[in-house]
């Protein structure tokens, strides 16, 4: 079947990129558990290595199971191509790698997944890259942070640990003006709830570990390219616009046009950084994506019910769910993620740090884990775990203060989730 972009999301999540297996007719995408592929002849091998013909060489670069997942991710996000890799964190490095260089900086939102704050504020310094953190509601501060060495702007659509929606339209207006790519981490929203490319994103990154696979089984990451950025408009992106010595001086943008970033991600990124996804993980993720819209609808419905209940409970100080009318970001939901504000949010418990620790121990259905975006409901006390490496200032900026608990609402019966929270709050708050 054709992968017409006119097809609806529910059709694309099942069919995009997949075809009956040409060798066996297998309807489900086989797990191509192979490291390498036999060349037709020496000439075929040479063409593949020169990127003159697209095909399979070695599974560090390309694999047919992963290729289906890449095409499906591109279709769901409305991009021209995608590169899958081993984890969400790998996807972030893979997205930045062709853009950055020693002495270059990226501007990142203060509201990010805790691991991303650590990756950006600490680890990337080893590459000579700098991240500047800015409150993305303060667009003047964002503009002021951009300088001649800025190469990317990075934010999350629905930001972890929850309750904040980035005004992607306002941010992309600034990146367009500055001639910079906007990278949006769409993990918490998924392409079902938010399509960042329609709001001006250049690249969309994902941790497929979360909602896309959906049941907490495998790790994975993806970078989807909008194909809309002109890498040759300035001299800022030489990896994409200038001759590449490893491919006989070929220029990726000139040769591959809108597919330049995707080809570079595979031919240089995966080849040399080696953060490759494995075909088993791609299979689990493809299985998960087939039911993405059904699950996301239920995650949103359940989150709305649980957040509303929590907001009306005396033991709870506040709930930051953008799907609640009380949220300052409620108006952005209709524009940025019209099908709902996701399944992830935080709430603050009266009784502070100690009550939060008791609460997570007393919950029964909710599992105390570092993951999110699972079919089952999950809870974590961010200040003592995922955001532990952050300073007090970073904790507040990330919305992860000491009395804050993050929950990822699953697709169980919502009444059972509410009953579980009720009994645990009683134990936590006395
Ligand atoms: C989990 C997560 C990541 C990191 O993904 P991994 O697959 O764990 O490497 C990045 N961003 C967000 C928003 C996440 O939730």
DSSP string, 309-359: HHHT-TTEEEEE-TTSTTSTTHHHHHHH-TT---SEEEEEETTHHHHHHHH
Distance of CA 98 from the midpoint of ligand 1 (Å): 20
Pocket test for ligand 1, best of 85, 86, 183, 209 (most atoms within 8 A of CB): 209
Pocket test for ligand 1, best of 89, 110, 191, 399 (most atoms within 8 A of CB): 89
Distance of CA 116 from the midpoint of ligand 1 (Å): 8
What is the pLDDT at residue 1?
43
Q: What is the DSSP letter of 278?
A: P
> Averaged over 411-426, what is the pLDDT?
97
> Averaged over 123-129, what is the pLDDT?
97
Residue 346 pairs with which residues in a beta bridge?
320, 406
Whose structure tokens read 């996301």? 296
Distance of CA 313 from the midpoint of ligand 1 (Å): 31
Structure token digits, residue 73: 């991710």
3-state class (DSSP) for residue 223: strand
Which ligand 1 atom sits closest to the C-alpha of 90?
A: 9
CB of 211 within 6 A of ligand 1: the answer is no
> Averaged over 379-396, what is the pLDDT?
80
Does residue 398 surpass a pLDDT of 90?
Answer: no
Distance of CA 217 from the midpoint of ligand 1 (Å): 14
Distance of CA 45 from the midpoint of ligand 1 (Å): 36
CB of 17 within 6 A of ligand 1: the answer is no
Closest CA to 174 of 197, 215, 144: 144
Higher-scoring residue by pLDDT: 399, 189: 189
3-state class (DSSP) for residue 205: strand
Pocket test for ligand 1, best of 160, 162, 207, 370 (most atoms within 8 A of CB): 207
pLDDT digits (tens, 9 = 90+) for 225-248: 999 999 999 999 999 999 999 888
| Alpha carbon nearest to ligand 1 atom 11, residue | 113
CB of 216 within 6 A of ligand 1: the answer is no
Does residue 139 surpass a pLDDT of 90?
Answer: yes
| Alpha carbon nearest to ligand 1 atom 2, residue | 207
Give the least confident one: 70-79, 99-108, 152-161.
152-161
Does residue 378 surpass a pLDDT of 70?
Answer: yes
| Alpha carbon nearest to ligand 1 atom 6, residue | 88
Whose structure tokens read 């560090």? 60
Q: How far apart are CA 147 and CA 285, in angstroms?
A: 39
CB of 156 within 6 A of ligand 1: the answer is yes
The mean predicted confidence, pLDDT, of the chain is 94
What is the pLDDT at residue 40?
92
Distance of CA 119 from the midpoint of ligand 1 (Å): 11
Q: What is the DSSP letter of 363?
A: -
CB of 343 within 6 A of ligand 1: the answer is no
CB of 221 within 6 A of ligand 1: the answer is yes
Pocket test for ligand 1, best of 113, 196, 216 (most atoms within 8 A of CB): 113
Q: Are 257 and 265 a contacting pair, CB within 8 Å?
A: no
Whose structure tokens read 């490291």? 35
Q: Are 296 and 218 a contacting pair, CB within 8 Å?
A: no
Which ligand 1 atom sits closest to the C-alpha of 89?
A: 9
Does residue 338 surpass a pLDDT of 80?
Answer: yes
Structure token digits, residue 281: 């993980």
What is the pLDDT at residue 5?
53
Distance of CA 61 from the midpoint of ligand 1 (Å): 22
Q: How do 81-85 and 105-109 pair as beta strands?
A: unpaired
> Averaged over 393-412, what is the pLDDT?
86
Structure token digits, residue 29: 């995408």
> Averaged over 180-202, what is the pLDDT?
98
What is the pLDDT at residue 386?
74
Distance of CA 42 from the midpoint of ligand 1 (Å): 41
Give the least confident one: 129-133, 232-236, 259-263, 385-389.
385-389
Closest CA to 160 of 343, 293, 295, 299: 343
Higher-scoring residue by pLDDT: 1, 351: 351
Which ligand 1 atom sits closest to the C-alpha of 188?
A: 13
What is the pLDDT at residue 2?
46
Q: Are 163 and 345 a contacting pair, CB within 8 Å?
A: yes
Which ligand 1 atom sits closest to the C-alpha of 371?
A: 1
What is the pLDDT at residue 42?
93
What is the pLDDT at residue 4?
54
Q: How far apart are CA 279 and CA 166, in angstroms?
A: 33
Distance of CA 232 from the midpoint of ligand 1 (Å): 31
Distance of CA 205 from the midpoint of ligand 1 (Å): 9
What is the pLDDT at residue 6?
83
């Amino acid at each position: 079947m054709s992968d017409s972009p006119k097809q609806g999301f529910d059709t694309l999540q099942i069919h995009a990129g997949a075809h009956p297996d040409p060798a066996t007719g297998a309807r489900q995408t086989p797990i191509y558990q192979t490291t390498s592929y036999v060349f037709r002849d020496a000439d075929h091998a040479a063409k593949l290595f020169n990127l003159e013909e697209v095909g399979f060489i070695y599974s560090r670069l390309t694999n047919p199971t992963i290729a289906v997942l890449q095409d499906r991710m591109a279709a769901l996000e409305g991009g021209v191509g995608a590169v899958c890799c081993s984890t969400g964190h790998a996807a972030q490095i893979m997205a930045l790698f062709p853009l950055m260089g020693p002495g270059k900086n990226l501007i990142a939102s203060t509201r990010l997944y805790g691991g991303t704050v650590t990756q950006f504020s600490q680890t990337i310094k080893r590459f000579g890259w700098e991240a500047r953190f800015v409150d993305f509601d303060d667009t003047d501060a964002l503009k002021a942070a951009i300088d001649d060495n800025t190469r990317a702007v990075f934010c999350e659509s629905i930001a972890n640990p929850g309750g904040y929606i980035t005004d992607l339209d306002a941010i992309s207006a600034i990146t367009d003006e500055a001639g910079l790519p906007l990278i949006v981490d769409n993990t918490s929203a998924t392409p079902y709830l938010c399509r960042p490319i329609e709001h001006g994103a250049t690249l969309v990154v994902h941790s497929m570990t979360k909602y896309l696979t959906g049941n907490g089984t495998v790790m994975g990451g993806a970078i989807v390219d909008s194909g809309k950025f002109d890498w040759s408009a300035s001299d800022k992106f030489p990896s994409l616009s200038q001759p590449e010595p490893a491919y006989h001086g070929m220029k990726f943008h000139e040769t591959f046009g809108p597919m330049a970033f995707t080809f570079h991600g595979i031919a240089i990124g995966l080849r040399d950084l080696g953060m490759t996804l494995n075909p088993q993980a791609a299979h689990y993720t493809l299985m998960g994506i087939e039911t993405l819209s059904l699950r996301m609808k239920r995650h949103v419905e359940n989150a709305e019910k649980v957040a509303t209940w929590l907001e009306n409970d005396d033991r709870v100080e506040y709930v930051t769910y953008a799907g609640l009318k009380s949220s300052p970001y409620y108006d952005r939901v209709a524009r940025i993620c019209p099908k709902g504000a996701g399944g992830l949010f935080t709430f603050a418990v009266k009784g502070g740090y100690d009550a939060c620790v008791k609460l997570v121990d007393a919950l029964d259905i909710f599992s105390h884990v570092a993951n999110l975006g699972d079919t089952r409901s999950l809870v974590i006390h961010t200040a003592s775990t995922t955001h532990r490496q952050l300073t007090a200032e970073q904790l507040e900026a990330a919305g992860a203060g000491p009395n804050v608990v993050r929950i990822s609402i699953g697709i169980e019966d919502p009444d059972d989730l509410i009953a579980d929270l009720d009994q645990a709050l009683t134990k936590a708050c006395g």
